[in-house]
Chains A and B, each alone.
Chain A
Amino acid sequence: SAVISQKPSRDICQRGTSLTIQCQVDSQVTMMFWYRQQPGQSLTLIATANQGSEATYESGFVIDKFPISRPNLTFSTLTVSNMSPEDSSIYLCSVETDEAFFGQGTRLTVV
Chain B
Amino acid sequence: KNEVEQSPQNLTAQEGEFITINCSYSVGISALHWLQQHPGGGIVSLFMLSSGKKKHGRLIATINIQEKHSSLHITASHPRDSAVYICAVKGPGYKLSFGAGTTVTVRA
Contacts and interface: CB of A to CB of B under 8 A. Distances in A.
Interface in A25-54: 31, 33, 37, 41-43, 45, 48
Contacts of A45: 95-96
B41 A90 contact: yes
Contacts of B86: 42-43
How would you classify the secondary structure of chain A's contact residues: helix, strand, loop or mixed?
Answer: strand
Interface residues of A, number: 22
Interface residues of B, number: 18
B99 A42 contact: yes
Contact of B88 (A100, A101, A106): A100
A106 B42 CA distance: 9
Nearest to B35: A100
A92 interface: yes
Contacts of B101: 42
Contacts of A98: 48
A104 interface: yes
A100 B48 CA distance: 8
Given A43-B96, A45-B96, 13 more contacts: A31-B94, A42-B101, A48-B94, A92-B41, A94-B43, A100-B45, A100-B48, A100-B96, A101-B45, A102-B35, A103-B42, A104-B40, A105-B41
